[in-house]
């Protein structure tokens, strides 16, 4: 089972903003991180799960990690955003690991459907309804 990671979509004002970043114009998207994850070898076949408004809402398949000239690292992603069943997740800095057992399932269908707002998912989770 691959290991995944979570990251805040900090520049996205909405899920539509995040989706617009994955425009399909290139085969890959790159994010910068200061350190190579210690468990990066376990992430082969894994995904980066995006957190927006206190909920995991989507994922992008991880392709690899590449070192930059300045010593930082590229997180190289497939240029694809897959919507997942929203799951409450507190905000955090940087990235965190996510096991396959804890990862939310992909949404059924073509991925164009609406997802619940993150704050609503959080309230429903507190009530034990999600």
Q: How far apart are CA 21 and CA 16, in angstroms?
A: 9
**CB within 8 Å of 80: residues ≥ 6 apart:** 22, 24, 60, 61
Tokens of 117: 């707002």
Which ranges in the chain belong to alpha helices (H)? 15-21, 118-126
pTM of the model: 0.81
Q: How far apart are CA 60 and CA 9, in angstroms?
A: 12
Which CATH architecture group holds 4-126?
Roll (2.30)
Per-residue pLDDT of the chain (130 residues; tens, 9 = 90+): 789 999 998 888 888 888 988 887 888 999 999 999 999 999 989 999 999 988 899 999 999 999 999 999 999 999 999 999 988 888 888 889 999 999 999 987 654 555 666 566 666 766 666 5
């Amino acid at each position: 089972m691959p290991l995944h990671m979570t990251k805040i979509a900090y520049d996205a004002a909405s899920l539509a903003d995040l989706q617009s970043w994955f425009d399909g114009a290139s085969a890959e998207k790159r994010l910068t991180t200061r350190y190579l994850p210690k468990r990066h070898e376990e992430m082969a076949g894994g995904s980066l799960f995006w957190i927006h408004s206190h909920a995991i809402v989507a994922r992008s398949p991880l392709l690899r990690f590449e070192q930059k000239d300045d010593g930082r690292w590229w997180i190289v992603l497939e240029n694809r955003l897959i919507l997942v069943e929203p799951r409450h997740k507190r905000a955090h800095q940087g990235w965190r690991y996510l096991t396959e057992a804890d990862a939310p399932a992909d949404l059924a269908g073509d991925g164009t459907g609406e997802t619940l707002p993150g704050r609503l998912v959080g309230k429903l989770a507190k009530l034990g309804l999600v």
